[in-house]
Structure 1
């Protein structure tokens, strides 16, 4: 076992816990263990029941090879991988513990990958188990038989295991939170209208792509240096702030209401923006993190883009020509302009319109447009 003082051991434990909170924290942990155990490399990886391997963090050097070489060519042939898979979390594995160590030395993974990479010796601990996969922290080094990991080093890893496991749990939670955040952001970006989230002070926390585009054009709405929404006149700005402040104090009421909306005129002369604010739940009252308290829907009636022809075609069983006509009508274009745009007679588009009525079970053009907006409003192109 490395000759560690109590003070040095505590430093390593503190390093593990501090690194767990960083975006690349497991690289820092692996760096620390590389120095402590004189490893060629260390890695946090996942292995499933088919011995397929996914490497999450890696620190060190693979001489003459890459991680891709291992995961694509050797992971499913690894003798040590199969031996470690069924071990419970917290049990230490050293390659010398294999019942038939000679089988490992003769294996393709050893001969073609680990030995040339100067990483033939393995020290591993499983940090977590799922139904068909494990999360493991592994260390490897080379140097011939004399450089094999010792039982003393295994005992040191056993001492550090609870802290590695806790670091892995923190990593899992942070990764899950990040994936959830990215999923919500992608969902918001799919909306054809702007979505903005503000804290209790009216400062922006997040917005989707449509909102970013609207704000960037500076056509009646901007964000100040504090992230607060501003209008083009002091009166509009005051009205915006009053609206958001009113929503902030609505602790229990959820949902949308016409009482929480306003129009914002635009210097360009285009039709005004429509804003609809709504509360996002009770105030947790913490001063240590920013909580989304206000949601704001921002609709631009002049936003470019037409409903996708393919969406209309698939939803209502239309021909390509009928889908093109419906998507264009829904975007606000008249029959006469449709005929000119498609280079056909107005009689032709009126005939197609009658067919559209039959296929969509509507009787008037206004009903057809309303149906198209309701059914395909989230599939705007442009």
Structure 2
């Protein structure tokens, strides 16, 4: 494994483009791997105490990572011993810390050899709130990365750290704009990262979360353990299933003393490949059944040429209700509601629930 300095320099210049177009992150990571002479590259993160998982990887490591998960090496990864020097130095060559005897006989390295993988270069690209490691996997048939290439590896680390900070800052601005739009619609919203931890709430959500409802250490807590577990379970499902449409959102109810339960619906946005570089990847929209939306139906009918039935349904969709719940509430057929929603999206120039809510939030008539 030997770095092609000229190709790597060109590749690192492409990192900035991925900051503004998240779909370019995977090809950019693949290009860094090729320029470094690596078999493949991946980004790892802790999945619990002493355990690791892959946040992003190149396709040529798919078989390796499937075996890694299947045989539960994440819970006993031998490279965990490299974390202290990695935190101190930023970049470490695995071959500098693992003996020839260990490479030849340890069960972990026997497993890696089955997939043609030898030693690796590890880079600490963690931020204050996110522990992440970029790994260049060396081919078993190649010599270990030489110490002379360390400046190149530090250059990769520096560029990735800077890019990730900027990408998250840009994404955070987008998320704050969404939160403000929901606030003007009087809709509470909570945003989450790929680990399911709260990243941002708007004032409306803060006002609704009182008493037994609270956010503690980045996690939503309900008044009962059952509701807390249900919330966590549905949020996890939403995060793992990008591309949900407005009529398939998960929903949970959160009980309140003396009031009707809040209704919470989850929505995933963005792509899983870009999550590692994003501020947030999912949100919860909170409906308060005790408070109606304040927009006047006649305003919507005039602005968007909606029928009376479409107007009523549009307000329910914008408030966070799914097609299934709207059909039940209105006593209307599910397919009829879906047909109305498609017409509403077409007339308003929107394509999903969050866009409709944001649009209605800009209307003050």
TM-score of the pair, normalised by structure 1: 0.47
Higher CA-based Rg? 1
